[in-house]
Amino acid sequence: MQTPVLQVSDLTKSFGDVVSVDRVSFDISKGEILGLLGANGAGKTTAINMILGIITPTGGSVKVFGEDLHQSRIELLRRMNFCSTYTQLPGNLRVYQNLKVFGKLYRVPNLETRIDEVLALLEIDHLKTRVSGELSAGEGTRLNLCKALLNRPELLLLDEPTASLDPDIADKVRKVVSRIRDEEGTTILYTSHNMRDVEEVCDRVVFMHKGKVLFTGTSDETLQHFKEESLEDVFIRVARSGDLESASSGVEDDGKEPRS
Q: How far apart are the two ends of the chain, measured CA to CA in Å?
A: 38
What pLDDT score was predicted for residue 164? 82
What pLDDT score was predicted for residue 248? 67
List the chain residues with pLDDT less than 50: 251-260
What pLDDT score was predicted for residue 20? 95
What pLDDT score was predicted for residue 257? 45
What pLDDT score was predicted for residue 253? 43
What pLDDT score was predicted for residue 10? 97
pTM for the whole structure: 0.90
Residue-wise DSSP of 154-219? SEEEEESTTTT--HHHHHHHHHHHHHHHHHH--EEEEE-S-HHHHHHH-SEEEEEETTEEEEEE-H
Instruction: For the chain, give every domain's residue range.
Output: 88-152
Contacts of 93 (CB under 8 A, 6+ apart): 101, 131, 132
Q: pLDDT tens digits, residue range 68-125?
A: 998 999 999 999 999 998 888 999 999 999 999 999 999 999 999 999 999 999 999 9
- Residue 12 burial by Cβ neighbours in a 10 Å radius (0-12, 13-18, 19+): middle
CA distance 155 to 197: 19
What pLDDT score was predicted for residue 250? 55
